[in-house]
Amino acid sequence: MTRKLLACSLNFALLAVCACVAGIAAAAEPAKGDAQAGRALVYTCGGCHGVTGYKNAYPNYHVPRIAGQNYDYLVAALTEYKKGERAHPTMHAQGESLSEQDINNIAAYLSSLSP
């Protein structure tokens, strides 16, 4: 009787440990942004970067292609523009209005596109 109870509570303890470890693993993953939310945010970027509808708009002056760019690269670039560490008047203005979460969402969306 006692042995059965003990085994049972041991199982519970194991379950709890497993759940906890899974929780830690999930928390350790850096929170990537929400691509769906990012999709709405990049609507205005398409005018210059031509990402709307996955098509390039071929603007008449050079703008780097950002669709399909690497997630971490996008986060770094936008954060640098936001903080003014990377100087460009237009992109600084763009970055300034974005929150960190916006930047993560945008990067999640853009990096999900095929280049």
- Residue number, 94 or 104, with CB nearest to ligand HEC: 94
Give the residue from 79, 110, 82 showing the smallest Cα distance to 94. 82
The nearest distance, CB 38 to ligand HEC, in angstroms, is 9
CB of 32 to ligand HEC, least distance (A): 16
| Nearer to ligand HEC among residue 106 and residue 108 (C-beta) | 106
Residues 103, 33 contacting (CB under 8 angstroms): yes
- Positions touching ligand HEC (CB under 6 A) are 42, 44-45, 47-49, 63-64, 66, 74, 77-78, 88, 90-91, 94, 106
Q: Which residue has the tokens 């669709």?
A: 67
Q: Which residue's Cβ lies closest to ligand HEC? A: 45
Q: Provide the minimum distance between the beta carbon of 30 and ligand HEC in the complex, in angstroms, as a whole number.
A: 18
Give me the residue label for tokens 């205005």.
44
Cα 24 from chain centroid (whole Å): 20
What is the token pair recorded at 26? Answer: 């999930």
Sign, CA dihedral 79-100-66-64, equals: negative
Q: Least distance from C-beta 46 to ligand HEC, angstroms?
A: 8
For ligand HEC, give the closer residue by CB, 23 or 47: 47
| Contact between residue 79 and residue 68 where contact means Cβ atoms under 8 Å apart | no
